[in-house]
Amino acid sequence: MTLVVQTDELETLRQLENQVNPGATQFEPAITQGWLKTVDFESEQEAERFINYASVLDDGEAAICAVAIERDWAIATDDRRAISFFQQEAPALPILSTLEVVKHWSEKTNLDPAALKLALSAIRTEGRYMPNRNHPLLDWWEAAMS
């Protein structure tokens, strides 16, 4: 995660703190515990890419793409525009979806099925996310949600 994304996400979560919002209290500990890592632009090339990409993508996606391309890292996003852009700019770099990340996490931590369903329900409700009918992990999602 880039500093741009962290700043934007934390601000959004803080605005929702008066609502039932476990993300507001779990985001910062996830960084502290090493589940998420925050990076900032380390080179002029990354900053330049960010500026160029921000004319096409939102700031968070532009920052992630800039850093990923410069550092030869994978990217995790479900944003169709960002995926298309990233595939054009760096076709060899992998793109992970939300479901791939969550599935990996649930398997690595041996997550209880009830906790997985709760996490996926929060992703669906709070993140307004539903995998499309062609998503390769749609069957996994449906099984976990039942």
Neighbour tally for 90: CB within 10 Å: 18
Q: Which residues sit opposite 75 in a β-bridge?
A: 95
Calpha distance 48→34 (Å, rounded): 28
- pLDDT class for 5, splitting at 50, 70, 90? low
Calpha distance 41→48 (Å, rounded): 10
Question: Which pLDDT belongs to residue 27?
Answer: 56
Average pLDDT over residues 91-109: 92
Say how many residues make up the chain: 146
Does residue 93 or residue 32 have the better pLDDT? 93
The answer to whether residue 95 scores a pLDDT higher than 90 is yes
Residue (of 140, 88, 139) closest to 113 by Cα position = 140
Calpha distance 82→131 (Å, rounded): 16
Question: Which pLDDT belongs to residue 38?
Answer: 77
> Can you say how many angstroms the Cα of residue 99 is from the centroid of all Cα atoms in its chain?
10
Question: Which pLDDT belongs to residue 34?
Answer: 73
